[in-house]
Structure 1
């Protein structure tokens, strides 16, 4: 029962209502099995590995962490903690798994131990590597299911799936070298969490070697526990050396062939793809990310050949699912062409500017599944924030705008068709003719997962719905009611939330801008749960506005790249324009406007409070990037260039180097700065430098240090009390009734709830 819980407590306890929801789906090639992760209920952190028998519509358990560990708690290695921080993984138990090609065998790690599950039978057993390897990280079966490769102690090992013949394939030559693991910026910024890839014949692997010796070291201390040694972190800050990443082709027979390309010109290994449909395929980028090459690998010699090259005056983005091969050996990629983000198969363009392609989800014999948002060529969509699943067809020849002529028995001819007609945020996983479609909609909280049988002869609305995979996530104690609109001359996507039960004509409301507002962080989504926290703030008496200005994803390449060299000015101006563009449609009190944000949103809140005090009257600045030179290479240099070449660009986009910071003529607005002391992504030095600059300028502010907290703030009590603390600050800063007394009452209620739960 959750009715007695306050929303902050429930939100924290359920990890933003993600616990108990099914995720991480795999479908067997014959469509017979769907594998997924899900915990038992909405406050259970431990994911279990489940299998759905599609024909029978029956779920059964394949791996239970509690049983496998004998009831003991998990022990995470430093490498596993880092992997989870990079992927923002706050759950426990089986947080990831990999399967063989037939989806009959799954491998995963628990407490650094190696397990495999026979998915047909629903049984799990432990493989016991030789002592001294160290904790197991990222185990992956070979496509034929006969072997499992895994990283441990900086080396890459392989063991038979029967537990025999455990041996090292590559061992580090020094303390700064690892094999089979992704380096920091690959995992944090490139969405590449892997460091090794099996050959389709299961006889060799491509293995990444990472040498971090050139990377400068930072030390993250725990001031609350001065007896503990600081943690050493190899952090490639903007303008400093990166890790050196190379590839080797290593056979199970011990042979090793180095893969060669121009590392000096293209140091970033962004993507690796190896399937039976073509030779190994690499995507490598220049450090400025304005040029990239698609390379094939000769497995006999390790030499590479360029099969495609891209260039862009701003930067080149990376996308999930590409590059890859079609079954007949053509390159599948996502490209920016003529102002649109399009899907390409070989030299055929399969989409027009009416769709903004975001990811490739699956490649069939003659079709591609992909996710996309309405593009600018389609005009304004029905509502902002739609992300749909589409299907496009290709063939070897023909005419037409899609690059292929009409195909027989295909609904719509050669035009892509939508598989998710309602406004929602939808994805897809396919195996054979079975599709798993997870969908987040506006009408209901949480995810719905439909399992359907695709049929080339019928439109998606007529496909056979086989079953649904149940979600055990808790239902929120409040209901979000966002108004999704476009604002201002640039039609900025916005969500506006008013207090529950607000009556028209009740007068204007103090305003809280609640953005992320930067690259890769779309907040305006056609999904109910995206607005739960914003609705809670609204219910405290605010009109809450979530605005996705230029730089945020989902609209067009030009929209996203308008921030080059002007990240601060452009994103801040769009928040101002969104606010003013909504003032004539909603009851906004422009004399009482606050802003809150985390990470990039924290930077945006800091910019608002310091540079636009004429608009914003209070700011909550969470884990902000205040000094751009302190953030990592791949992210920061993409938007601002190299700091040695663009010092003035860095100065005008950083808070602590802003000359306007010390101008006494600017009114000082109340500012609360929050930061986790254990954050290894946006390190606490960002906040300390900002606080020092504010103090030197005589500008009052508050700093809330969070001991032991990383960039995720996963701790339940911390997450709950942060919400209560922010409401109190907003009320005090804007001169609203309540303030500290109401926040104290809320905290007391939360403590009472916790005591009652413990007694129950």
Structure 2
């Protein structure tokens, strides 16, 4: 019997969802001699250290210990670093990110706003005396300099701490150099704003002017004595930050990079390697057009390498675009109904695979992450695998069912694998070997040389999960039953989706379903359904939500529920739904639009007024609000006709929102509550003081689970 002090909610919160103590952020040296990574000392320790695994003898050593470097002092983060961590949903402490030179011999990182470097061969660490607070330090490829951002300026210093100077300084308030703007970091997956040249003599630097962006004020009502802080938030239909790009030389020169910024305002990707000219991917505001541009660093001129258009939208992918070592463009594209890998103008994959990311580009092959495509013989529900793709064909690197990713260099691959039958994830170091020695097929020949230790805590909970397809559209589903259930009664149902873009929840991994299993053990049959709009299946599946995101996602939850009732003991007279962010939006819609199906809803941090969410996300799915107001109304929660229809049943609703959320601001929940009140609909509101879109605070995270269960049991009694 688990004691209250050792309960799942407490351990789940204390371990940050059992992620603390797990190795992460791997880098492999190009000579295959070592692997660099981050890891904290235990499953309850938030402070990550920088470590090196020497592959000659497979021994680990600490390259940088944050507690030793700070002398036990408390860590203080500058506002820019806090913003970076919020955008990346980073809840750790200590060294949460680092960068290396090309040889992976020198690493740099920021700690409490101070700049440190670590010599990875020698094992020595030093602090560089520079102007701070420091954000995002990155060594030059040759390891002789470190560039970083401080006070909105891009600066560079010698690796020994000499000659600290600014290369680009803000000309006015609201201008910064070297940082990603809100939209890039939150929606585009671009979390940086400067890139070194392979020759280490200059950099590409983004200049961001956010003065056109509307200012919003985030207050802390629990502390009325504190001033609110303002954020530049580009809400749908309003102005974005102005982003320009410059080539900044270490000699003080500066050249602006030119492209049609009026037509292509979004700087989505930047790549600079020795294989070719600097490469940009820029998009139109409606994200239905994009061009790949090669940059002349001397003149700043650009030439088009490739162009794409799509009648719905163009997705952005990790790892691309880039150049292959032979100078061909590597990209991921939606072609012929499939998501394929293309090198040059030739697709190397087809409908059997759904490409998700490029992990590494080698001389002879490309390492990718992919799911089974629509035409695959086996649907492999929730699985994500690593593949080698070449002109000769496709080879799967990961073998056991699960969710896999990888980092590769110098003939060494770090394969990180999460499986349904094993807690956490296992990081194996594989080396290309003699194929005859391993007995592997001709394309194989890898042997495990090390397993990187994980100190993550055991959840002491094993999901009782069944993976299946629900309904005519074959919606991927995970169904979780109580651990001690023997099939003697119908169970109340808890739908537990995210249900929207970029949020796959049905994953063939143990830890992905821990919270759902805990809810199941409170007496529910829990269903996680990845309907249309969620990733990992096909372009058509993802893009089916265009212009009608509300109706489509709710209908798929209904269809999955009703289909599964024929296979599982579900009490359709007691059905609740819970969700956070997009899942909160879905939960609110479900309770209001289909009260005949859903009898209670936990609505966490929901987007209720689409005009209050950001440009890049919202306009991708429902267009510009000034041009298509009716589409915004049709997909809005607070404009829903179910709010004022007296004939519709009033379903209990618990609304939860962090008051410090600068992504989905609390105005969304307050407007929903006001609309419910005006319609005479009872509901509960749980405000979380000092909480952002994440809930990293241990007490908050723990008690949120308990309060939700209490509400659901009361509501479905």
- TM-score tier (shorter): over 0.9
1:238 alignment partner in structure 2:
236
**1:416 match: secondary structure:** strand
Alignment of 1:348-363 (within 5 A): 348-363=346-361
**Which string of whole-angstrom CA distances, capped at 9 and with x for unpartnered residues, describes residues 38-75 of structure 1?**
00000000000000001111000000000000001100
Within the alignment, does 1:468 sit opposite 2:451 as a pair? yes
1:446 alignment partner in structure 2:
424
**1:669 match: secondary structure:** coil
Cα drift, residue 289 of structure 1: 0.1
Q: 1:335 to 1:456 in 2, by over 3 A?
A: farther
Within the alignment, does 1:491 sit opposite 2:491 as a pair? no
**1:427 match: secondary structure:** strand
Within the alignment, does 1:368 sit opposite 2:363 as a pair? no
Choose the corresponding residue for 1:554, options 512, 517, 536. Answer: 536
Cα drift, residue 380 of structure 1: 4.5
Cα drift, residue 501 of structure 1: 2.1
Choose the corresponding residue for 2:408, options 411, 430, 441. Answer: 430
Within the alignment, does 1:206 sit opposite 2:207 as a pair? no
CA contact (8 A) 2:434 2:445 kept: no
2:629 alignment partner in structure 1:
647
Within the alignment, does 1:519 sit opposite 2:522 as a pair? no
Distance 2:680 2:597 in 1: 21
Alignment of 1:312-323 (within 5 A): 312-323=310-321
Cα drift, residue 464 of structure 1: 1.5
**Which string of whole-angstrom CA distances, capped at 9 and with x for unpartnered residues, describes residues 731-752 of structure 1?**
00001xxxxxxxxxxxxxxxxx
**1:270 match: secondary structure:** strand
Alignment of 1:239-254 (within 5 A): 239-254=237-252
**Which string of whole-angstrom CA distances, capped at 9 and with x for unpartnered residues, describes residues 231-289 of structure 1?**
10000000000000000000000010000000000000000000000000000000000
2:594 alignment partner in structure 1:
612
1:403 alignment partner in structure 2:
none
Within the alignment, does 1:91 sit opposite 2:89 as a pair? no
Distance 1:285 1:174 in 2: 27
**2:422 match: secondary structure:** coil
1:752 alignment partner in structure 2:
none
Choose the corresponding residue for 2:703, options 718, 721, 733. Answer: 721
Distance 2:636 2:298 in 1: 49
Distance 1:105 1:482 in 2: 45
Distance 2:434 2:99 in 1: 29
Alignment of 1:106-145 (within 5 A): 106-129=107-130, 133-145=131-143
**1:718 match: secondary structure:** helix
Distance 1:102 1:445 in 2: 34
Cα drift, residue 565 of structure 1: 0.3
Distance 1:626 1:490 in 2: 27
Distance 2:36 2:150 in 1: 26
**Which string of whole-angstrom CA distances, capped at 9 and with x for unpartnered residues, describes residues 609-661 of structure 1?**
11000000000000000000000000000000000111011001111122331
Alignment of 1:151-550 (within 5 A): 151-382=149-380, 384-394=381-391, 414-455=392-433, 457=435, 458-459=440-441, 462-504=445-487, 506-550=488-532
CA contact (8 A) 2:114 2:132 kept: no
Distance 2:222 2:166 in 1: 40
Distance 1:39 1:480 in 2: 26
Q: TM-score, normalised by structure 2?
A: 0.98
Task: List runs of 5+ in structure 1 lacking aligned partners.
Answer: 395-413, 736-760
2:44 alignment partner in structure 1:
43
Distance 2:86 2:332 in 1: 28
1:408 alignment partner in structure 2:
none
Within the alignment, does 1:578 sit opposite 2:560 as a pair? yes
**Which string of whole-angstrom CA distances, capped at 9 and with x for unpartnered residues, describes residues 124-145 of structure 1?**
110011xxx4310000000000
Cα drift, residue 431 of structure 1: 1.3
1:742 alignment partner in structure 2:
none
Task: List runs of 5+ in structure 2 lacking aligned partners.
Answer: none
**2:423 match: secondary structure:** coil
Distance 1:499 1:76 in 2: 42
Cα drift, residue 161 of structure 1: 0.3
Cα drift, residue 121 of structure 1: 1.5
2:59 alignment partner in structure 1:
58
Cα drift, residue 379 of structure 1: 4.1
Cα drift, residue 393 of structure 1: 1.1
Distance 2:648 2:641 in 1: 12
Distance 1:440 1:559 in 2: 25
Cα drift, residue 439 of structure 1: 0.7
Cα drift, residue 461 of structure 1: 6.2
Cα drift, residue 421 of structure 1: 1.6
Aligned length: 711
Distance 1:487 1:682 in 2: 31
**2:561 match: secondary structure:** helix
CA contact (8 A) 2:278 2:295 kept: yes
**Which string of whole-angstrom CA distances, capped at 9 and with x for unpartnered residues, describes residues 281-335 of structure 1?**
0000000000000000011110111000000000000000000001110000000
Q: 1:462 to 1:276 in 2, by over 3 A?
A: closer
Distance 1:213 1:221 in 2: 21
**1:477 match: secondary structure:** coil
Q: TM-score, normalised by structure 1?
A: 0.93
**1:392 match: secondary structure:** strand
2:82 alignment partner in structure 1:
81
Distance 1:485 1:712 in 2: 30
CA contact (8 A) 2:432 2:445 kept: no
CA contact (8 A) 2:275 2:325 kept: yes
